[in-house]
Amino acid sequence: MTAGFKPKHQRLVLVVLALVAILAAGALAAWALKNQASYFYIPSQIVANPPDPDRGVRLGGMVKAGSLKTAADGITMHFVVDDGKAQVPVTFAGIAPDLFKEGSGVVAEGHMMKDGTFVADNLLAKHDENYVPRELQDMSKQQARQTVAETR
């Protein structure tokens, strides 16, 4: 009798081990991504089904007109994000992006508190499709095209 497996069985064992290793690596990667994923919510979704307080999420919507208030420290801002169906109060301490203002779109990264307030760690301001940089606002379309072409 010969010791070990036949070559045909050795290949089969190697293929099975390779498949097990690939599946284990995939499961490990999926688990790691699940813990790092930042889910996106709109106000009506976050009000209906709030995430766990320790889970990092993104809240997107419009900054409600008249809701933006700056605290006495000059850094902390309180505002409301609205989607037309629900509203979520947001607190942010830091420097807001230049495009951040009432009536504009915003994506806030942070977490929900148990009291229903969203605490943002980061703000991403969104501009609409009619956005024009400040440098090009007073130019005609032809002048703006020429300026852009010259900078390329």
Task: For residue 143, give Cα distances in angstroms to 64, 133, 140, 151, 152.
Answer: 35, 13, 5, 13, 15
Residue among 150, 145, 103, 143 at smallest CA distance from 125:
103
The predicted model gives 58-86 an average pLDDT of: 91
Query: 135 pLDDT exceeds 70?
Result: no
Query: 71 pLDDT exceeds 80?
Result: yes
Position 2 scores a pLDDT of 46
Distance of CA 147 to the CA centre of its chain: 33
Q: Which residues contact 126 (CB under 8 A, 6 or more apart)?
A: 99, 104, 105, 106, 107
Position 132 scores a pLDDT of 61
Cβ atoms < 10 Å from Cβ of 57: 20
Give 101-117 pLDDT, tens digit per residue.
888 889 999 999 988 89
CATH number of 39-126: 2.40.50.140
Give 36-45 pLDDT, tens digit per residue.
666 888 999 9
How, if at all, do strands 105-112 and 87-93 pair?
unpaired
Helix, strand, or coil (residue 47): helix
Average pLDDT, the chain: 83
With cut-offs at 50, 70 and 90, classify the pLDDT of residue 1: very low
Position 97 scores a pLDDT of 86
Q: Which residues contact 114 (CB under 8 A, 6 or more apart)?
A: 53
Tell me which of 46 and 54 has the higher pLDDT: 46
**Whole-number Å distance between alpha carbons of 31 and 77:** 35
Tell me which of 126 and 100 has the higher pLDDT: 100
pTM of the model: 0.62
The predicted model gives 77-82 an average pLDDT of: 94
Least confident of 42-46, 77-81, 145-149: 145-149
The predicted model gives 77-97 an average pLDDT of: 92
**Whole-number Å distance between alpha carbons of 62 and 68:** 12
